[in-house]
Amino acid sequence: MRIETCYFCSRPAYPGKGIMFCRNDAKQFRFCRSKCHKNFKMKRNPRKLKWTKAFRKAAGKEMTVDSTLQFAARRNVPVRYNRELVAQTLRAMDRVSEIRAKRERVFAKRRLAGRRAQELAQDRRLVQTHGHLLPRMRGSEKRRLALEQGLDKEQIEELEQQGMVAEKSRVFGKEKIRQKVRVDGGVEVMGEGEDDTMEVDSD
């Protein structure tokens, strides 16, 4: 009895799990679940599907070069039973998988480092390009006005319409000056402050 590897996604297929397809040239394909089987029948390439191990390995998403990955092997030559050897192997398996899990965690952490900065930059870009869609006055600002100055709902709305309290969205980095056409037709110039620094940079 053997734990086979799924042809499609490389998951283990335990005895009694999944399905095996024997092609008419006697080649066998073992699948761990119907998802893999169906995808195979649709003639999809496992290298191009993000959820397979083949893809993850090729895309550098998983640890591939490591000494802990050298132990597992499909052995086709039988070894005579030796109680001591089995006990030792079982102990080693525990230890190796422990070390491997630890290294995989470190690998994942290193791979995802810098993700936060990337996301922040992306968010900034979004606010910068689509700032005109933001509400003119924040909810917290409205609440503050209602509490401190005792304004009515209508008064606050009026203020909002006038754009009295509307903040100018800031321009980050070396962005150029750009004009924005608001939904209501007004035009807003952004990034005037950056003008000087731009010239200095170009000189």
Partner 1 sequence: MAVINKRTLTKTRRKIRDIDQIKADLLSPKHLAQYKESFAPEDLPDLGKWYCTECAKWFESEVNLVVHRKGKPHRRRVKQLQEEPYTQKEAEAAIGLRTDNERPSQTMESAIDNEITMAT
Binding site for partner 1 (CB under 8 A): 5-10, 21, 23, 25, 29-30, 38, 41-43, 45-47, 52-54, 56-57, 64, 69-70, 72-77, 79-80, 82
* Closer residue to partner 1 (CB): 82 or 118: 82
CB of 141 to partner 1, least distance (A): 54
Q: Which residues pair with 5 in a beta bridge?
A: 12
Residues 6+ apart with CB under 8 A from 31: 6, 7, 8, 13, 18, 19, 20, 21, 37, 40
Cβ distance 14 to 5 under 8 Å? no
Count Cβ atoms below 10 Å from residue 24 Cβ, excluding itself: 5
* Closer residue to partner 1 (CB): 29 or 141: 29
* Closer residue to partner 1 (CB): 47 or 91: 47
Extract the tokens encoding 67: 């000494």
Residue with tokens 């203020």: 159
* Closer residue to partner 1 (CB): 25 or 184: 25
* Closer residue to partner 1 (CB): 97 or 162: 97
* Closer residue to partner 1 (CB): 61 or 136: 61
Output b/e per residue, 136-170; b: 16+ Cβ within 10 A.
bbeeebbeebeeeeebeeeebeebbeeeeebeebe
CB of 15 to partner 1, least distance (A): 17
According to DSSP, the β-strands at 12-13 and 187-190 are: unpaired
CB of 109 to partner 1, least distance (A): 20
CB of 9 to partner 1, least distance (A): 8
Q: How many CA atoms lie within 13 A of 130 on its CB side?
A: 8
Q: How many CA atoms lie within 13 A of 47 on its CB side?
A: 1
CB of 111 to partner 1, least distance (A): 17
CB of 69 to partner 1, least distance (A): 4
